[in-house]
Amino acid sequence: MKIVAVTSCPTGIAHTYMAAEALERAAKKAGHEIVVETQGAGGRKAIPADILAAADVAIFAADIPVRERERFAHLPTVEAQVKSAIKDAAKIIAEAEALVSAKG
């Protein structure tokens, strides 16, 4: 499964990156590909359009609104708080798997 994710918190510093790393580890452990876009005070590096087009699901681990959310409109989406991604990224990955499986 190909996953794209956005992590963001109000300051966009520590927790944004901790959530990104946790999701990356959990996705790889489950055998999935993942590309994470971090959004915060330091700016962002947008996920390339070709990766977005090939993705199966999006995960938003965000405590603030995701910038340019419309880029992900074609994807089923799992939403969680940053804290949840840090504490239990495997659960969020499992939710994404279930969402994609249900989509068929």
The rounded average pLDDT for each run of 10 residues, N- to C-terminus, in the chain (104 residues) is 95 89 98 95 87 98 94 97 97 97 83
DSSP 46: P
Which one of 4, 9, 52, 86 is the catalytic residue?
A: 9
Residue 16: partners with Cβ closer than 8 Å, 6 or more residues away: 7, 8, 9, 38, 39, 40, 82
Q: Is 27 a catalytic residue?
A: no
Single-letter residue type at 55: A
Instruction: Enter the CATH code of domain 2-103.
Output: 3.40.50.2300
Per-domain residue ranges for the chain? 2-103
pTM of the model: 0.95
